[in-house]
Every structure is written in structure tokens, then in C-alpha cells.
Amino acid sequence: MDLGQLSAIPSETLLDALPDAVVVADGDGRVTYANAAIRTLLGHDPAVLIGRSLTRALPRRFQPGRDGKALRPQAAGRGELLGRTTQLPLLHADGHEVLVDLTLARVDPFPGAPPEQRSVICVLRDAGATILLERQLQVSRYLAATLRVTAALTEAADADVAFQRLLPTLCTELDWDAAVLWETDEQSGRLRHAGTWTAPEVDVPALREETRRTFGRGEGLPGLVRQRRTPVVVEDLWSDPRFLRQHAARADGVRTGVAFPVLRGDTVLGVCELFSRTQRSVPPELVDVLAHAGRQVGQFLGRLRAESEMRSLAETLQRSLLPSHLPTVPGVELAARYRAGGGSALVGGDTYDVMPLPDGRWMALVADVCGTGAEAAALTALTRHTARAASAAGCPAAVLAAVNAALLHEQGAAPLRFVTAACLVLESGPRGHRVGISIAGHPPPLLRTADGTVVALGRPSAPLGVDAGTAFTDATVDLPAGSTLLLYTDGVTEARDDAGEQFGEDRLERLLADAACSDAEGAVAAVAAAVEAQVAGSRHEADDMALLALTVPA
């Protein structure tokens, strides 16, 4: 079809073919034409509409008042609606309202025509699909924001850090100017301030001043949210009596607020307030998303708190498996280091101990329990306390034999968990210091002499807790002046870098030969630093590490 053929088609036929409803009104606001699409949109027969006033399509609340003012096309055609698309509710033929997108255009029959001869063309389109799409996009944005909040929280080391990351992420992602977080105080039961965040170039000094106060249940916006356990919206902070800090809101220029609870089950962990400097409506979709986010955040924070408490308990248990401090041994310098493994286990299986014997000698023990966790901790405690109880025998081999018997008795039919250990008894005399050493499947202690020579000591036997018939032997070695004796667990030699290469015995001996390791503190510090450097950035899980060094000063 060429343009000539198109121009021959009547305009009414072209308008009837359009999917959008088209209504033409004269200068008095009466319909002069309506196309077929008006039947689909508003349920009216186009022929019935001819001659009717446009205002009859409006809901009653938009009908003309006593002043007689009506929606006159010439007024609309001269105003801000001309050429714009505006959402407006119109009445369907069955009485319900339909929200439409209305676009107006003015038609003059000739230049300078009087208003009563002008016409207005109204193009109407159902706004429901557009609104639904906009809401879907908005909800998607809200959900994406909560996902980013969750991602930020998962990187937090503990609940306190997570709370602090919650505020800026929420404000940034949801376009709010400020946020205040209130946390439930376990002692008083009231909400106390936990943090405040503002967007760049925004400050809320008056609201910050108000964070010195606390809120009880039902008191103020935070207390109301805590009481209801649901989000609460305050569109005008300056006049709503539920918001008790109106003077602060006025001083800081914030107008709208929304607060939601951070819930773990039915327990309110805290309340988060979001503030905007412009008065804005808060759509129900955002309220629903914030309620859901509050529950998710609460579950996450609850888990973080539980893990934090578990770590605290584990640290307490781990400390109980190590001496609180090293004793003072006459004529000998002592130093020790301990580092728990880098895996998921909260309690390691390595331990060390130094204790005096009744006859003036000293016993030292370094042990490594197979495995980690609660069972390994129980065996570590059994090993340490049995060694202390058996130390009166005065012989390292006898101490290890007693530990072996205790472990075998304790394990019974349970899966095998063995222990490696190195035990020594130090005695001092007129001729200097000497040690008796007994080893059960453990890396042999290393002796560094004053000239830097490093040698391994002792003759290893089988690990503890494996065979009741294992025989443990002693070896006696003199400790000359200027010498250092290092006892360690395999968390040192088996430490692997990212490529999987182990630290190894040879490297440890070369390191110990260095002049920096000529005393006990220098030795454990150098070895610990070298192992940390070895495992830094490694994909391989680090094992527990225990170091105990004794130096006889020159």
C-alpha cells in the first residue's frame, strides 16, 4: 500500500485499528468520537459515549464540585497535561476503577480558532501492565540489594562487624540518607545504640545526639517495631507522634523513616532505622523485603553469635590444655609458641608442658594427638594430666608408658586415636645440665650447640595408644653452655605452601643453625615466623603447631 492509498482510508477506520483507546472531545468537554478499543479498556460502547461529558468517566472524588469546575478540554489543552502522559483513574462501565496512562493532544480547526471550536484528542492505555512491570523491577532491585547485604555480612568475622556492615550496605543499595541501628541489651532488656551511618555529604548530628537514649518495648519507633516484630513506616517524622525525636528530625532535615526488626525466630536482636531527607512514600514491596531481610540477617547474626560463643568456649578449652605460663627453671631459659590449625576444628590436639619434680628435677613434654575437635581435646587432656601424675617416677620412658596404658584403657573399642610425644627430664648438677629423653613416634628434639651445630636426639618408639607391649627407652644427653634444645610437633615440618611443598626437617635444621636461634626465645620466634610465611596464602590446611625451647646460657 502506498501513501496515496493510505490517505484514502477514512481516519475513523485508522483510529479503530489502533490497540490504544482514542477519545475526541469538543470544547465543552463532550465526546465527539471514541474508537473500538474503548470497549476493551473501559467496557463502553463507543456509540453510547457520543455526546457524554468526559467527567462522567471520572470517579466521584474527581467529579466537579459546587463551584461547577469541570475537566474542560480547552483548560487541559492549555495546561501542563498537554503532550504529557499522566496516570489517572477512570470508571469502567461496571463501576470499578481502571488506572490508565492518559496522553492529550490539542487540535485547532484553523489558526486562531476560538476555544469552543477546538478539540482535544485523548489517548488512553491500561497502566496496570506498566505498573506491574515497574513493581516487578522495583522488587527485583530490592531483592538484589538484600542479596548484596547478605554477601557483605558473610564476609564479617563476627556479629559486631556484621552489624556495622549492615548499615552502609542497606543505605547505599536502597537510596536512604542515614541509618541507625539499635541492639537489644541482654542485661537491661532495652534497645541501645549500636551504630549510625550516613551517606557522603550527609550528617545527622541531632539524631546522633539522641543515640545516647534507650528504648523500651513500645517506646518510640524502635520500641514499637520491637513490640510488633514487623516494619513500621513513618512518612512524616516531623508530625507523627510515634516518633519521639521530632526535634532532631527537624534539625537534621530528615522527613521519612522506616524501621524493621532484626529477628532470630521470635527474638528481636535489634531494630534498624532508615531515614530520608525527602518526604517519600514507602511501597509495600519494600516493607515486605525489609521484613524478609530482617529475618535473614537475624538468622545470620544468630549463627555468627553462636559461632563466636563456640570459639570462645574452644579458646577457653584450648588454654586449659596448655600451661598458663612457663615456670622459672634455675640456670635454664624457656620459651614456647602455640598456634591452632587453620581448619574448621575449634580445638587442636597439640600441647606442651613443663613442671617441677619432687627431687628438684624438671619434666618437659610435647605431644600431638591424632585428629582435632572435642575427642582430640579429651585425649590431649588425658595425656597431659597422666604425664603429670606419672612424673614422680622420674624417668621419661616410665612417663610415656603410663600415658600409653591410660590411652589404651580410655579408648576401649572406639576408633584408634594415637598420640605422639617427646618427654624429657632435666637435671642440674655441678657438672652442668643433662636431659633424659624418651620419644613415642614423635619428631626427635633438635639440639643446637654454641657453634651452630644441630643434631637430632633420642631413639623413637611406637606412638602412644597403639600397643600395650610397646617398650619405651631413655637416652641421656648433656646440655653444654650456650646450647638450645628445641621440641616441636609435626605442624612445623609438615607445613605446606600453596604448591604443596613441606617445610621439612632439613630446612628446620638449617634455620636452627642460624645465629638468631642461639637462645630459646630467638629460636621459637624464628621457627614460628618461618612456618607462618610457609603457609601464608596456601590452599592447604595448616596443622596445629607447638614449640618448646630450652637454652643453657653460655
Mean pLDDT along residues 253-263 = 94
Q: Provide the pLDDT for residue 138.
A: 63
* Cell 630459646, residue located: 520
Q: 15-19, 237-241, 474-478, 518-522: which range is least confident on average?
A: 15-19
Whether pTM > 0.75 for this model: the answer is no
154 three-class SS: helix
CA 294 to CA 276: how far, in whole Å? 19
CB 442 within 8 A of CB 493: no
Q: Is the pLDDT of residue 543 over 50?
A: yes
59-73, 142-156, 218-232, 401-415 — most confident range: 218-232
Q: Is the pLDDT of residue 73 over 50?
A: no
Q: Is the pLDDT of residue 229 over 60?
A: yes
Assigned C-alpha cell, 117: 471550536
Confidence class for position 362, pLDDT limits 50, 70, 90: very high
Q: What is the pLDDT of residues 235-246, one digit of tens each?
A: 999 999 999 999
Mean pLDDT along residues 486-515 = 93
Confidence class for position 99, pLDDT limits 50, 70, 90: confident
Q: Is the pLDDT of residue 61 over 90?
A: no
Confidence class for position 87, pLDDT limits 50, 70, 90: confident
Q: 21-25, 108-112, 118-122: which range is least confident on average?
A: 108-112
Give the CA distances from residue 372 to residues 422, 535, 545, in Å, rounded to whole numbers and listed in that order: 19, 19, 12
Phi-psi region of 95 (alpha: psi -120 to 50; beta: other; left: phi over 0): left
Q: Provide the pLDDT for residue 169.
A: 75
Q: Provide the pLDDT for residue 411.
A: 73
Q: What is the pLDDT of residues 114-142, one digit of tens each?
A: 666 678 888 888 877 666 656 665 666 66
Q: Is the pLDDT of residue 456 over 90?
A: yes
Assigned C-alpha cell, 230: 514487623
Mean pLDDT along residues 372-396 = 81
CATH of region 3-126: 3.30.450.20
Q: Provide the pLDDT for residue 226.
A: 95
Q: Provide the pLDDT for residue 222.
A: 96
Q: Is the pLDDT of residue 146 over 70?
A: no
Mean pLDDT along residues 405-419 = 76
Q: Provide the pLDDT for residue 147.
A: 67
SS (H, E, C) 101-143: EEEEEEECCCCCCCHHHCEEEEEEEECHHHHHHHHHHHHHHHH
CA 390 to CA 400: how far, in whole Å? 9
Give me the percent of the chain exceeding a pLDDT of 70.
78
* Cell 587442636, residue located: 348
Confidence class for position 28, pLDDT limits 50, 70, 90: confident
Q: Provide the pLDDT for residue 30.
A: 85
Q: Is the pLDDT of residue 17 over 80?
A: no
What are the backbone angles phi and psi of residue 86, rounded to the nearest 5°?
Answer: -125, 140
Q: Is the pLDDT of residue 494 over 80?
A: yes
Higher pLDDT, 165 or 543: 543
Q: Is the pLDDT of residue 153 over 80?
A: no
273: closest CA among 136, 404, 176? 176
When the pLDDT of each residue in the chain is averaged and rounded to a whole number, the result is 82
Mean pLDDT along residues 300-315 = 67
265: closest CA among 238, 229, 237, 231? 229
Confidence class for position 76, pLDDT limits 50, 70, 90: very low
CB 363 within 8 A of CB 357: yes
Give domain limits for the chain. Answer: 3-126, 147-313, 322-551
254 three-class SS: coil
Domain spanning 147-313, CATH architecture? 2-Layer Sandwich (3.30)
Q: 151-155, 192-196, 330-334, 347-351: which range is least confident on average?
A: 151-155
Helix (H) or strand (E) holding 266, with range, is none
| β-pairing verdict for 97-107 and 432-440 | unpaired
Q: Is the pLDDT of residue 13 over 90?
A: no
Q: Provide the pLDDT for residue 529.
A: 95
DSSP designation for 544: P
Assigned C-alpha cell, 521: 626465645
Q: Provide the pLDDT for residue 170.
A: 73
Say if 3-126 and 147-313 have the same CATH topology.
yes
Q: What is the pLDDT of residues 273-302, one digit of tens each?
A: 999 999 988 888 888 878 887 887 777 777
Mean pLDDT along residues 409-421 = 75
Domain spanning 322-551, CATH architecture? 4-Layer Sandwich (3.60)
Q: Provide the pLDDT for residue 67.
A: 45
